Amino acid sequence: MVDRPSRPLLPPYDHHSFTDPIREAEIDWLPGATDDGERTFDPVTFSVVYARLEGILSEMTETILTTARNPILYGAKDFTCTIMSARAEVLSMHDCLPVHVGTMDPALRFVIRAFRDDIAEGDVFVNNASFAGNAHVGDWTMFAPIFHAGRFVAWAVNKCHLIDTGAHIPGNVDFFAGDVYQEAMHFPGVRLCRNHEPIPDLVRFIAYNFRFPELWHGDFLAQLGSLWTCERRVHALCERFGYATVKGCFAEALRYGERRMREEIAKLPAREIEVSMTGEAIAGFFPEGVPLKLKLAIDPQAGRIRFDYTDMPDQQAFGYNLSYATARCSALQGTLPLLDPSIPANDGALKCIEVVLREGALAGIPTWPVGTSAATIALCDEVTNLVFKAWAEIVPERAMAGMGEYCAANFFGSGADATTGEAYAHVFYLAASGGGATARHDGLPHMFGACIMGNMGYESIELVELARPLLVWETAAVTDSGGAGRQRGAVGVRQRIQPVGHTMHLSFCGSGHTCAAFGLAGGSAGAGADHWVVAPDSGRELRHLPNAGEADIAPEEAWVASTGGGGGLGDPRTRPANVVLEDVRDGFVSRVAAREVYGVVLVEREGRLEIDAAATHALRGRTS
């Protein structure tokens, strides 16, 4: 008989399996895993090696973009690549989604503890389970250990949002899934490859249980190609500079990240504050809106930032709950944009930001087996806006107004092509919400939400119409949707989509519909998101749709969805009149709002809008 090691189960209710840092004793059996390499090397070598990491990550990213089969990957780019240490520390991230920044390490910690001394060269593992440290069930996170001459160097990692992983409805975000048994299929640390070869019975099992198996298999191969591209490039790096130098540079990168973050925190004031806001109103769960509250403490001397989420409301039996990974990430993604952007996005820096979470909280550590399928969006965006609000009280000169959130415009449509009978599911990334204004800049457009912050792409309308039986009639800026201010919030975007020859089923759970993005220092809130069904020819509204639920769009109907705008900052009447004029010409601000909100009077002369300086001066009561 084959002697196989006996391994205890890692129960899903034991959150220490993914929250606690990896100890040396857990990886000291792996050759080189605890080796930090050389401690002394010249700065030029360190700079070259560390910069090479970004180059490798860029190549990993391009591999997925050019070989993936689903538009959510090759079009919208809903994925992130990274390289991690043996202790499950992120060494570098490049061109990543904010919501992925803090969600890689807990998922890898679970894998390391699940497999212990059964990790070898050529292995690939997957973890998409939120109770095993992953963000949510839709994020298919894969890990490949990299060895050089038999010694461990690093983990190659990528996280891709798959279009379907076997849920009872097409797609992976079921707002009304009360527990994990109603969600898609969970793979809590499963080996998918040995000796650089996929395990056939697992591939067959997955293909039988996922919709669109050929598309999934293409995406799976794209992820494998990305991981193994990283492996080859890291091998070449070790051949060029030597194993000890490369490992030493990796360890120094974490020390450097920590030094830079501590230096940045030392510049902040010592403060402790508590902030609250009311989030999205959700029928049947939070009809008056979600009551959100957190505490933020800054200790410049210790170089620590501490968030306390223990006063968040209790978890509910639906998919709105945050996972541990996304609850932590909501604080990170609401903090990093306000700090020096040259600080490395690695775990040396991130460990200086502590997030205290309560078990059983809506934004905390969920209690098994509650649903978390929407954990990366919606509530995650709302909590991040609350983090922005907290920072606005502490460093108003760096503050950012609230941003439009991930709304119903960006959710699932599904159906079948009337001609071929081929089924499809699609996540829409044709219309994005707007970013909040800062003290020096208007809000950035096309942000989608705090979970994305512009790091995903718009899909090509033409490619969507080629890949799906849909007509995209319109994408356009929503006039006056950006919060007014000296610096204006970015406007939202409207889309109008009609299914061709079939009924399209929508499944959605957006936020930012009842809780508009807040303004600061006299700036106004951005417009909220909304969506409805119209008659395509006349544009007549047939019915209004809620922020969460399901709906069918018949072939003689069209779905119209508007995303939310970002909040404004400062008195709108101090916005330069010539800038307001450009906003009106661009369709971002109406002539009525220019006059009534910004105090700028515009007249048409020879078919061109111009400022009526005298009328504007009189209306504003001073020179513009």
Structure tokens at 523: 């700036």
pLDDT of the residue at 621: 85
Q: Does any domain span residue 184?
A: yes
Same domain, 509 and 604: no
Domain that holds residue 171: 16-24+42-258
Same domain, 437 and 526: yes
pLDDT, the chain, mean: 95
Mean pLDDT along residues 397-418: 96
Q: Does any domain span residue 123?
A: yes
Q: Is 609 helix (H, G, I), strand (E, B) or coil?
A: strand
- Is the pLDDT at 2 greater than 60, yes or no? no
pLDDT of the residue at 14: 87
- What are the pLDDT digits (tens) for 426-460? 999 999 999 999 999 999 999 999 999 999 989 99
Same domain, 550 and 606: no
CB-based contacts of 139: which residues, under 8 Å, 6+ apart? 100, 103, 128, 159, 160, 161, 376
Q: Does any domain span residue 382?
A: no
Query: Could you tell me the CA-to-CA distances from 325 to 85, 107, 173, 328 in Å, in that order?
Result: 18, 8, 17, 5
Mean pLDDT along residues 173-193: 93
- Is the pLDDT at 623 greater than 50, yes or no? no
Residue 437 dihedral angles phi and psi, to the nearest 5°? -75, 155
pLDDT of the residue at 9: 73
Mean pLDDT along residues 55-65: 97
Q: Does any domain span residue 99?
A: yes
Q: Among candidates 150, 173, 154, which has minimal Cα distance to 163? A: 173
Structure tokens at 44: 């030029």
Structure tokens at 483: 């919060």
Find the helix or strand (DSSP H, E) in which 325 lies: helix 324-335
Same domain, 494 and 616: no
More confident residue, 7 or 336: 336
Same domain, 555 and 406: yes
Q: Which residues of 259-297 are buried (b: 16+ CB within 10 A; e: fewer)?
A: bbbbebbeebeeeeeebebebbbbeebbeeebebbbbbb
- The full DSSP string for 519-583 is PBTTPPPPPPPEEEEE-TTT--EEEE--SEEEEEE-TT-EEEEEPPPPPPBS-GGGS-HHHHHHH
pLDDT of the residue at 12: 75
Same domain, 467 and 593: no
Same domain, 70 and 171: yes
Under DSSP, the state recorded for 28 is: T
Query: Could you tell me the CA-to-CA distances from 580 to 388, 398, 404, 601, 605 in Å, in that order?
Result: 26, 23, 21, 10, 17
Number of independent structural domains in the chain: 3
Mean pLDDT along residues 134-148: 97
pTM more than 0.85:
yes
- Is the pLDDT at 1 greater than 50, yes or no? no
Same domain, 548 and 610: no
Q: Does any domain span residue 149?
A: yes
Q: Among candidates 492, 310, 330, which has minimal Cα distance to 408? A: 492
Same domain, 202 and 89: yes
Burial of 158 (0-12, 13-18, 19+ CB in 10 A): buried
Sign for the pseudo-dihedral over CA of 114, 115, 121, 122: negative
Contact 206, 342 (CB under 8 A): no
Instruction: Report CA 8 to chain centroid distance, whole Å.
Output: 34
Q: pLDDT confidence of 624, banded at 50, 70, 90?
A: very low
Q: Is 255 helix (H, G, I), strand (E, B) or coil?
A: helix
pLDDT of the residue at 4: 52
Q: Does any domain span residue 378?
A: no
Q: Which of 205, 230, 258 is the last residue of a domain?
A: 258
**Cα–Cα distance, 143 to 223 (Å, whole number):** 10
Same domain, 583 and 565: no
Q: Which of 210, 225, 258 is the last residue of a domain?
A: 258
Q: What is the largest CA-CA distance in the chain?
A: 95
Q: Does any domain span residue 264?
A: no
pLDDT of the residue at 622: 60
- Is the pLDDT at 464 greater than 50, yes or no? yes
More confident residue, 234 or 3: 234
